[in-house]
Amino acid sequence: MTRFSLLPVFLLGSVAVATSSQDDFQTKCSHFYDKINLPHVQVNFAKYIPGGTNLTLVDNPPSCEASSQEVSVDLCRVAMAVNTSSTSQITLEAWFPREYNGRFLSTGNGGLSGCIPYSDLAYTAGFGFATVGANNGHNGTSGKPFFHHPEVLKDFAYRSIHTGVVIGKELTNMFYDEGFNKSYYLGCSTGGRQGWKSVQKYPNDFDGVIAGSPAINFANLISWSSHFYPITGPPTSEKFLTAAEWSLVHDEILRQCDTIDGAKDDIIEDPDLCLPIMETLLCSPNAKNTTNCLSSAQVQTVQQVLSPLNGVNGSLLYRRMQPGSENYAAEIMYTGELFPYSLDWFRYVVYNDPSWDGNFTVQDAEAALAQNPYNIQTWDGDLTPFRKTGGKVLHYHGMMDQLISSEDSKWYYSHVAETMKLPPQDLDEFYRFFTVSGMAHCGDGNGAYGIGQGSSTYASSDPESNVLMAMVKWVEEGIPPETIRGAKFEDGVGTPVEYWRKHCRWPRRNVFKGPGNYTDENSWECV
Ligand SMILES: *[C@@H]1O[C@H](CO)[C@@H](O)[C@H](O)[C@H]1NC(C)=O
Ligand SMILES: *[C@@H]1O[C@H](CO)[C@@H](O)[C@H](O)[C@H]1NC(C)=O
Ligand SMILES: *[C@@H]1O[C@H](CO)[C@@H](O)[C@H](O)[C@H]1NC(C)=O
Ligand SMILES: *[C@@H]1O[C@H](CO)[C@@H](O)[C@H](O)[C@H]1NC(C)=O
Ligand SMILES: *[C@@H]1O[C@H](CO)[C@@H](O)[C@H](O)[C@H]1NC(C)=O
Ligand SMILES: *[C@@H]1O[C@H](CO)[C@@H](O)[C@H](O)[C@H]1NC(C)=O
Ligand SMILES: *[C@@H]1O[C@H](CO)[C@@H](O)[C@H](O)[C@H]1NC(C)=O
Ligand SMILES: *[C@@H]1O[C@H](CO)[C@@H](O)[C@H](O)[C@H]1NC(C)=O
């Protein structure tokens, strides 16, 4: 029997057989409350949740936008508050499934939140992992709790995850007589940064870390997110492009770059090779109808958006937005106002001034970088301690990410290679980076983004097609993933899979070799 045979439990969503009396698992859960006596930990409740429950999340802040969560398997839900200092605390949940696979796992957070990742708790507990998830030290998605609260900021920068891991491991050992053997981390975006923070700062926390679309180079990411507003101006500006105009830009970028990888499929496999010439969209001087062309001010906007952000002295702060993300980015980055998380960060962290006006300049970028509170940058290039523990890290990034440019991940990979003086074949031993074409920010997109990092990208529990199971196989059987297979859904997760594609391990890139259709995964090759 392989360990993976437990996995279909998640799919079946097994419902506990109703019994009038409590069974041993239920009794253990209800008595667990009395057993926990850890410093700084206040247990709120330990409750048995039968599989098939649609959990109502009464305490979840409205801005977290999750008032319910489906739970597919029987589990013991433990909710607690953990003091991280005299003026800060995290809210932490530990979910202990009845069908336990002997593994501990921590989930991560997103954005500036502030939100317990219930969907991920349910996803990984559904696979049998003893799972923890925390609120990152504050409630809700706003950055306001950081204002004059350095301890809350510290939780956000690194302490929430680490605290959850320390407490979570103790509780797992208390709850299950057999304890646990291996520990894992699964997160994307801010969660990706938290995964990298663990690798860099707490190399013993995890045996396997899956870090997606990471918000690393964090201070510069905040500045990069800010710099689109001065480029586009407000919607009234002559430099501004409407969503329809960005769609025009996207189509032109595809026209120039889609077939570089050999396939006309509306997906750019490696945006590095895409250096679009935008003057092709200029309106001719006597054009009467300018619906399908751009003014020269607008063309300049597009060119600037697709250029890196440099500091006052010309040093590179953040690489360019990767071409291909235009339609998604238009909705959130090019809206004609400052990116809300960036506004919060400058107001409540960098300047401690809620009236800061949002007129971002590169001087503000310098201030944010110089501050780098609690090394939130998460850019350390020397992973020697993690490597020495035998840890493995699987890094992935969507190639049409509209919120965190995938070029930043490529930059970090180079930074690690150069710092450690290790070529890719040596990094491969413990650090593998996968570029996922057709994936927007942590999921969604128009390509084969279904890699199983969470329920919103789940298509299969096969290690070949599921990053979490791939990591388990790498850690426990020593077999690393060569590619990550993704599903292209007909219309979002849960709908039929239209085709599969194997995503390459950087620095390889995917090339369509034929014969046949781009939908045939075997017609592609990583070169
Ligand atoms: C947590 O800190 C608060 C405020 O300092 C204190 O009142 C409370 O007793 C602490 N809880 C635990 C479990 O240590
Ligand atoms: C769970 O409950 C919420 C809120 O009551 C509801 O919107 C949602 O559809 C329910 N989910 C299922 C699968 O029943
Ligand atoms: C840990 O590994 C050992 C050896 O393979 C195994 O006997 C034991 O059951 C495992 N423990 C858990 C909690 O899975
Ligand atoms: C977050 O919300 C929970 C649930 O309402 C509450 O118990 C906790 O004190 C809040 N945490 C903070 C830091 O405000
Ligand atoms: C301009 O061109 C667009 C697209 O071809 C078309 O839909 C629109 O009706 C035209 N507008 C005018 C005023 O002719
Ligand atoms: C240029 O700016 C970067 C980022 O602020 C800084 O690290 C670097 O030391 C500066 N270099 C010079 C020559 O001033
Ligand atoms: C930026 O500065 C201008 C001029 O001082 C001001 O009108 C505007 O409200 C400021 N804020 C933003 C977000 O543009
Ligand atoms: C390839 O597959 C797509 C999607 O199924 C289809 O629309 C297209 O016509 C196919 N192309 C060829 C050349 O068979």
Buried b / exposed e over 309-324, threshold 16 CB at 10 Å, is: bebeeeeebbbbbbbb
**Within this chain, do residues 364 and 409 fall inside the same structural domain, yes or no?**
no
Query: How many Å apart are CA 436 and CA 410, to the nearest integer?
Result: 12
Task: Tell me the backbone φ, ψ of residue 41, rounded to 5 degrees.
Answer: -110, 125
Q: What angle do CA 51, 55, 59 make, to 5 degrees?
A: 145
Query: How many Å apart are CA 294 and CA 282, to the nearest integer?
Result: 5
Residue 235 above 70 pLDDT?
A: yes
Query: How many Å apart are CA 340 and CA 329, to the nearest integer?
Result: 14
| Last residue in a domain, options 180, 197, 214 | 180
In sequence order, which residues have a C-beta less than 8 Å from that of residue 128 and are 6 or more positions away?
A: 6, 7, 9, 73, 97, 99, 100, 101, 102, 103
Residue 193 above 90 pLDDT?
A: yes
Cis peptide before 340 (omega within 30 of 0): no
Closest CA to 164 of 192, 132, 196, 135: 132
Residue 14 above 80 pLDDT?
A: no
Residue 10 above 50 pLDDT?
A: no
**Within this chain, do residues 345 and 419 fall inside the same structural domain, yes or no?**
no
Q: In which band, very low, low, confident or very high, does the pLDDT at 339 lie, cut at 50, 70 and 90?
A: very high
Residue 238 covered by a domain: yes
Residue 148 corresponds to which tokens in the numbers above?
A: 């004059």
Query: How many Å apart are CA 342 and CA 220, to the nearest integer?
Result: 10
Residue 18 above 60 pLDDT?
A: no
Task: Count CB-CB contacts under 10 A for residue 479.
Answer: 11
Residue 4 above 90 pLDDT?
A: no
Q: What angle do CA 491, 495, 496 make, to 5 degrees?
A: 105
Q: Give the per-residue pLDDT at 20.
A: 54
**Within this chain, do residues 396 and 361 fall inside the same structural domain, yes or no?**
no
Residue 205 covered by a domain: no
**Within this chain, do residues 130 and 4 fall inside the same structural domain, yes or no?**
yes
Q: Give the per-residue pLDDT at 6.
A: 35
Q: Give the per-residue pLDDT at 1.
A: 31
Is 148 part of the annotated catalytic residue set? no
Query: How many Å apart are CA 271 and CA 257, to the nearest integer?
Result: 8
Residue 100 covered by a domain: yes
For the segment 114-122, the average pLDDT, to the nearest whole number, is 98
Residue 276 covered by a domain: yes
Task: Count CB-CB contacts under 10 A for residue 235.
Answer: 11
Residue of 14, 106, 189, 465 marked active site:
189
Q: Read off the pLDDT of residues 125-141 as tens digits, 9 standing for 90 and up.
A: 999 999 999 999 999 99
Residue 17 covered by a domain: yes
Tell me which residue range forms the domain holding 291. 222-374
Query: How many Å apart are CA 416 and CA 382, to the nearest integer?
Result: 6
In sequence order, which residues have a C-beta less than 8 Å from that of residue 255 and are 6 or more positions away?
A: none
Q: How far, in Å, is the centroid of ligand 5 from the Cα of 521?
A: 40
Closest residue by Cα to atom 1, ligand 3, is: 181
Cis peptide before 143 (omega within 30 of 0): no
Residue 97 covered by a domain: yes
**Within this chain, do residues 418 and 504 fall inside the same structural domain, yes or no?**
yes
Helices 24-35 and 160-175 cross at an angle (nearest 10°) of 130
Q: How far, in Å, is the centroid of ligand 1 from the Cα of 40?
A: 7
Residue 211 above 70 pLDDT?
A: yes
DSSP letter at 407?
H
Would you give the end-to-end CA distance of the chain in angstroms?
36
The ligand placed nearest to the CA atom of residue 248 is 5
Cis peptide before 507 (omega within 30 of 0): yes
Residue 323 covered by a domain: yes
For the segment 142-153, the average pLDDT, to the nearest whole number, is 98
Mean pLDDT of the chain, nearest integer: 95
Closest CA to 294 of 229, 232, 246: 246
Q: For the chain, give the percent of residues with pLDDT over 70.
A: 96
**Within this chain, do residues 353 and 411 fall inside the same structural domain, yes or no?**
no
CA dihedral for 219, 359, 148, 139, sign (positive or negative): negative
Query: How many Å apart are CA 525 and CA 522, to the nearest integer?
Result: 8
Closest residue by Cα to atom 10, ligand 8, is: 517
Q: Give the per-residue pLDDT at 2.
A: 36
Ligand 3 closest atom vs CA 181: 1
Query: How many Å apart are CA 99 and CA 73, to the nearest integer?
Result: 8
**Within this chain, do residues 349 and 413 fall inside the same structural domain, yes or no?**
no
**Within this chain, do residues 242 and 161 fall inside the same structural domain, yes or no?**
no
Closest residue by Cα to atom 8, ligand 4, is: 91
**Within this chain, do residues 397 and 520 fall inside the same structural domain, yes or no?**
yes
Q: How many helices (H) and strands (E) does the chain have?
A: 16, 17
Task: Count CB-CB contacts under 10 A for residue 374.
Answer: 16
| Last residue in a domain, options 128, 156, 180 | 180
Give 39-92 as a DSSP string. TTEEEEEEEEE-TTEEEE-TTS-GGG--SEEEE-S-EEEEEEEEEEETTEEEEE
Closest CA to 83 of 26, 152, 147, 132: 152
**Within this chain, do residues 370 and 396 fall inside the same structural domain, yes or no?**
no
DSSP run (H or E) holding 526: strand 524-526
- The count of domains in the chain is 3
Query: How many Å apart are CA 241 and CA 224, to the nearest integer?
Result: 19
Asked whether the beta carbons of 345 and 222 are under 8 A apart, the reply is yes
For the segment 236-241, the average pLDDT, to the nearest whole number, is 98
DSSP letter at 211?
E
Is 401 part of the annotated catalytic residue set? yes
The ligand placed nearest to the CA atom of residue 372 is 6
Q: How far is CA 203 from CA 197, 216, 467, in A?
A: 9, 17, 20
**Within this chain, do residues 24 and 126 fall inside the same structural domain, yes or no?**
yes
Q: Against a cut of 0.85, is the pTM above it?
A: yes
Phi-psi region of 140 (alpha: psi -120 to 50; beta: other; left: phi over 0): left
Q: Read off the pLDDT of residues 260-314 as tens digits, 9 standing for 90 and up.
A: 999 999 999 999 999 999 999 999 999 999 999 999 999 999 999 999 999 999 9
Query: How many Å apart are CA 500 and CA 254, to the nearest integer?
Result: 21
For the segment 28-49, the average pLDDT, to the nearest whole number, is 96
Q: Read off the pLDDT of residues 453-466 as tens digits, 9 standing for 90 and up.
A: 999 999 999 999 99
Tell me which of 10-14, 404-408, 503-507 is least confident: 10-14
For the segment 361-381, the average pLDDT, to the nearest whole number, is 98
Residue 124 covered by a domain: yes
Q: How far, in Å, is the centroid of ligand 2 from the Cα of 161?
A: 29
Residue of 149, 227, 441, 503 marked active site:
441
DSSP letter at 346?
I
**Within this chain, do residues 323 and 412 fall inside the same structural domain, yes or no?**
no
For the segment 423-438, the average pLDDT, to the nearest whole number, is 98
With a 6 Å cutoff on the Cβ, whether 517 touches ligand 8 is yes
| Last residue in a domain, options 344, 374, 404 | 374
Query: How many Å apart are CA 33 and CA 60, to the nearest integer?
Result: 21
Q: Give the per-residue pLDDT at 3.
A: 35
Q: What angle do CA 504, 507, 508 make, to 5 degrees?
A: 45
